[in-house]
Amino acid sequence: MPRNQDKSITRAGLVGYGEVGKIFCAELGKRVPAVAACDPQAADAAMREHAKQTGILLFDHASLLPAGTQLVISAVTAASALDAARDAVPAIAAGTWYLDINSVSPATKQRCADVIEAAGGRFIEAAVMSAVPPYGLAAPMLLGGPWAAEAAPVLSGLGFRVTPVSEQIGVAAATKMCRSVIVKGLEAIVTDGLTAARRYGVEMEVIAYLAEAFPGFDWAAEARYFFERMMKHGRRRGEEMQEAAATLREAGLDPAMPAATAERQFDIGTRVRESGCEIPKSDWQASADLLLELLRDPDSRR
């Protein structure tokens, strides 16, 4: 395929109009003349209103992205990444950039790349190495694949903060997934341990011991963040940890730890979502109390 030297993007499309998709669309809309998005929930009134207010064309399927879209960004849940690539094929013309920012295993990234490259597109894997809010397009990303170096200045020109790390698909994904095994595993362990400590009335003693053992870590502040992330995004993070488990499995390692983390993240996220309860923002103790209530009375879910 001839390499396209034109570094200007005049049409962009987002596959997935969730939290990240909305943020990216709003920022790209200030830099790109035409921005469209697609999401299976496009009929939702609130989603339609958000798209209208930000000037985004909204469709319910990736195949409906307008002709001439030069950059397609896939920002869906981990479990939907491969389906998203397949759905986008009708919108992929020769030379279309396809930036996959989904948190999936190296093997899943490669399967997505195979789909897009077979359609004539240029696949770039991206690993987003921080939460997107409050950074938006400037959230740090690692890029991988044979097109990563060429795509970097194109994406940087749009406001992305990107670092090419390898011409091989999967290196960026492996970096993200292996880090997630540790970080999201820590979230699950801390949440379980402190919820149990709260139940027994020994939370202050546990926090004191942790502070003594790890003096550079603000356990109370980080615990509040851990609880909030799991309660708000546990379902999505659970899917990501299933991909982290797959990453270990692909490496020939036992995936028991990330698999257990996936189950815990998903369970907490599901319980909170189905309860309809507001997630506490004051401190981690309030979050632990809510979890204890939901665990004690599963029928209280509304």
Q: 112 with 85: CB under 8 angstroms?
A: yes
Same domain, 82 and 146: yes
56 φ, ψ to 5°? -100, 130
- pTM of the entire structure? 0.89
Percent of the chain as helix, strand, coil, to the nearest 5: 55, 15, 30
Burial bucket for residue 147 (CB in 10 Å: 0-12, 13-18, 19+): buried
Q: What is the CATH number of the domain that holds 130?
A: 3.40.50.720
CA 82 – CA 101 distance, rounded (Å): 12
Residue 223 confidence (pLDDT) above 70: yes
**Beta strand 140-144 with 34-38: parallel, antiparallel or unpaired?**
unpaired
State both tokens at 17: 């109009």
15 and 158 in one domain? yes
Q: Is the pLDDT of residue 8 over 90?
A: no
User: 197 and 288: one domain?
Assistant: yes
Report which of 3, 21, 2, 20 is spatially closest to residue 12, judged by C-alpha positions: 21
Encode pLDDT of 23-78 as tens digits.
Answer: 999 999 999 999 999 999 999 999 999 999 999 999 999 999 999 999 999 999 99
Q: What is the DSSP string of 244-284?
A: HHHHHHHTT---HHHHHHHHHHHHHHHHHHHHTPPPP-S-H
277: left (phi over 0), alpha (psi -120 to 50) or beta: beta
3-state secondary structure 42-99: CCCHHHHHHHHHHCCEEECCHHHCCCCCCEEEECCCHHHHHHHHHHHHHHCCCCCEEE
Task: Tell me the pLDDT band of 302, cut-offs 50, 70 and 90.
Answer: very low
Task: Give the C-alpha distances (Å, rounded to integers) separating 239 from 37, 78, 295.
Answer: 22, 6, 22
SS3 call for 23 = helix
| 53 and 69 fall within a common domain | yes
Q: How far is CA 164 from CA 28, 168, 272, in A?
A: 21, 10, 38
Cα separation, 230 vs 142, in Å, equals 24
> How large is the C-alpha radius of gyration of the chain?
21
Percent of the chain with pLDDT over 90: 93
Domain boundary among 168, 185, 200: 168
Computed over every residue of the chain, the mean pLDDT equals: 94
Residue 182 and residue 161 share a domain: no
Tokens of 41: 């929930």
| 6 lies in some domain | no
Range(s) of the domain holding residue 102: 11-168
Is position 3 within any domain?
no
Our count of domains for the chain comes to 2
* Residue where a domain terminates, one of 144, 168, 192: 168
- State both tokens at 268: 């907490």
Q: How confident is the model at residue 6 (pLDDT cuts 50, 70, 90)?
A: very low
- The C-alpha atoms of residue 109 and residue 106 are separated, in whole angstroms, by 5
